[in-house]
Structure formats: structure tokens, C-alpha cells
């Protein structure tokens, strides 16, 4: 049975990890996951419709399915890590694992929650934003861009050069980086470092948890007695009975159950480590190049050089001579809701 577990993991992990790395590239690098124009949803009159209200932060309903998966996986790894596998470590390692992984757990949780909770909108948007007021509807067939000459005609404010109007949040984001479905929130200058810290701590925490579970998994087949050093095992009748949720709420289980959960945890942990590790390396690369995700995408988009040249030309034109016709043309883009 042990060799079957190991051979199954050896065959499945490379295949699954390759698939999930491709999915990560699609989610993090594909343009459609970072749209900066309003959502193109068909209305009864054939016009594209934007979301009715702007979203406040990552807790605004509806929650994204990726966000629910993230929170569920986080809870699962916390329960099995602190409740099953760390208590099975030898005495000295056990306390070190509780301290190090516990601190990483708290640090990651704080940064994750802050990144979700912060409203990343531009300061000018926050100064006049009424989230209970419906947003105008944007007609992309008439006008191509929401922001022209650094003025957003949906938010009706002047914005900075790196501000973008996010389609999912339906508001202008300060120094827009990307919209993260895993946080269900935009990532901009106000919450970027919380996002980055959450990713970095998650990668390190996953690596340590994988080591702990892998040690327990291998040690069970080498010398299971090394995993039964907790005092509570002295009252257990036989070696076939194992305890979980030590030391506060010991519950009896079987070795098969512990090893099965270990195999599942290793699989989920390894896939998550690949995904988040790839994301961390990507953002380290962006930091080294002093680029945002959005800037990286526009540079690598087909025809990006032409777009950049056009944007540069429009940006250098005098505002007084261009603002009037832009306003007139953009007013026709805003349909009454």
C-alpha cells in the first residue's frame, strides 16, 4: 500500500502541477482577467452594461468563487497542519514548528485580510464616491476608453497617469496593478504590499507545511514510533490506533486515515506552492523591472508599441484645446441608467 501511494503521487503530481501552472498563467497573465474597461454585458437594447454599483472592497457581494476556494484551502491547511501533523513531530521539532509556522500563519492572515478589506480606489474617487449611487452605463460602441486626458467620465474625477478604471469593481484604482479574483479585490498602490506580503508568506508557509507532512508520511513507514511520542499515546491500547488534535482535544483515528489525508494534503500543498511560487517570482520580476502587472501586459500585448505611441501623443496635447471635444464625445458614451 505504501509503494502504491508513493508511485501514485510520483505519477500524478507532475501532470497536475503542469496543468495548474498553465491555469495560473491564464489567470494572472491573460488580459481578460485584468480588464480595465467596464464589463461588456449585453442589455436588452444591445448596449454593453457596466455593473450597477461600484464595489467597496473584496468583501462586497457576490464573493468570487476563487476567493471562497482560497479561504477554504487556507482553513483546511490550518486544521490539518496544527491539528494532525505538527503534534506528531518529535518533541523538540514540535515546538519549533508551532512557533515558526504559527507566526507565518498569523502574518499571512493579517496581510490577506488587509489586502481584501482596503478600498484601493483613487483618492479623488474616495473624496466624492457614493457607493449607493448607481454608476452610469458605458457604451463601448460609441467611445473606446473610459479615461481620456486623465479624466474618468464614469467616476467624474481627475485621475493620475497610472489610474485605471477596473471593470469588476467599476471604479478608478490608484496605481492599478491588476484585479485579483483570489482576493475579490483590485490590487493597487494602497494594498499592493499587503498582497505581496500575503503571497510571500503563503509560499514560505506552504513550503514548511509540506516538509512537516512529508516527514510524517515517510516516518510512518520507516519508524512510526517516532510519531507517537506525545504523552496521550501511552493510554492508547494498540499501535493501530492514532490520535489527532493533540493535546487539547485528542480524538482516535486510524493510520490509514492519517496517511490518506497526508497524501491529499501533500498534493494540494504542492499544487498551491507551484501556483503561488510562480506568482511570487513573477512579481519579484516586476519589482526588479519597476513595472506593474498592467504595464507588463500592455508592453507584451500585440501592437503595444503603436498603442504606447498614440497614448504618448494624446498625453502631450494641450488640455484646453482637446478637453472640449473629448467632453462632448464622451458625454455621448454615458447612457442614462
Catalytic residues: 180
b/e code 299-325 from CB counts within 10 Å (16+ = b): eeeeeeeeeeeeeeeeeeeeeeeeeee
- Closest Cα partner for 53 from 119, 117, 137? 137
| Cis amide bond preceding 247, omega within 30 | yes
> What are the two backbone dihedrals, phi and then psi, of residue 113, each rounded to the nearest 5 degrees?
-65, -40
What are the residue ranges of helices labelled H in 34-139?
65-80, 91-117, 123-128
Count how many residues are written for the chain.
337
Residue 1 grid cell: 500500500
* Helix, strand, coil abundance in the chain, percent, nearest 5: 60, 10, 30
- Contact status, residue 131 vs residue 53, Cβ threshold 8 Å: yes
Amino acid at each position: 500500500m505504501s509503494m502504491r501511494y508513493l508511485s501514485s503521487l510520483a505519477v500524478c503530481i507532475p501532470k497536475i502541477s503542469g496543468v495548474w501552472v498553465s491555469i495560473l498563467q491564464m489567470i494572472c497573465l491573460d488580459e481578460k482577467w485584468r480588464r480595465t474597461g467596464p464589463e461588456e454585458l449585453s442589455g436588452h437594447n444591445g448596449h454593453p452594461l457596466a455593473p450597477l454599483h461600484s464595489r467597496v472592497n473584496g468583501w462586497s457581494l457576490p464573493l468570487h468563487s476563487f476567493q471562497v476556494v482560497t479561504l477554504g484551502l487556507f482553513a483546511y491547511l490550518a486544521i490539518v497542519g496544527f491539528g494532525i501533523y505538527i503534534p506528531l513531530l518529535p518533541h523538540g521539532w514540535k515546538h519549533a514548528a508551532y512557533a515558526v509556522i504559527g507566526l507565518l500563519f498569523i502574518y499571512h492572515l493579517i496581510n490577506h485580510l488587509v489586502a481584501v478589506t482596503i478600498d484601493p480606489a483613487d483618492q479623488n474617487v474616495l473624496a466624492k464616491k457614493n457607493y449607493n449611487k448607481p454608476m452610469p452605463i458605458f457604451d463601448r460602441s460609441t467611445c473606446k476608453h473610459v479615461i481620456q486626458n486623465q479624466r474618468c467620465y464614469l467616476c467624474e474625477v481627475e485621475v493620475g497617469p497610472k489610474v485605471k478604471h477596473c471593470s469588476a469593481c467599476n471604479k478608478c484604482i490608484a496605481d492599478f496593478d491588476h484585479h485579483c479574483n483570489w482576493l475579490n479585490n483590485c490590487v493597487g498602490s494602497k494594498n499592493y504590499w499587503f498582497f505581496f506580503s500575503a503571497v510571500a508568506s503563503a509560499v514560505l508557509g506552504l513550503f514548511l507545511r509540506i516538509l512537516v507532512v512529508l516527514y510524517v508520511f515517510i516516518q510512518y513507514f520507516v519508524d512510526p514510533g517516532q510519531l507517537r511520542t506525545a504523552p496521550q499515546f501511552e493510554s492508547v491500547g494498540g499501535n493501530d490506533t492514532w490520535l489527532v488534535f493533540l493535546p487539547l482535544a485528542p480524538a482516535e483515528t486510524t493510520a490509514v486515515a492519517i496517511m490518506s489525508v497526508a497524501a491529499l494534503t501533500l498534493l494540494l500543498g504542492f499544487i498551491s506552492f507551484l501556483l503561488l511560487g510562480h506568482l511570487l517570482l513573477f512579481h519579484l520580476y516586476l519589482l526588479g523591472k519597476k513595472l506593474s502587472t498592467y504595464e507588463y501586459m500592455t508592453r507584451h500585448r500585440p501592437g503595444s508599441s503603436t498603442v504606447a505611441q498614440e497614448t504618448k501623443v494624446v498625453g502631450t496635447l494641450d488640455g484646453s484645446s482637446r478637453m472640449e471635444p473629448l467632453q462632448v464625445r464622451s458625454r455621448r458614451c454615458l447612457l442614462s441608467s
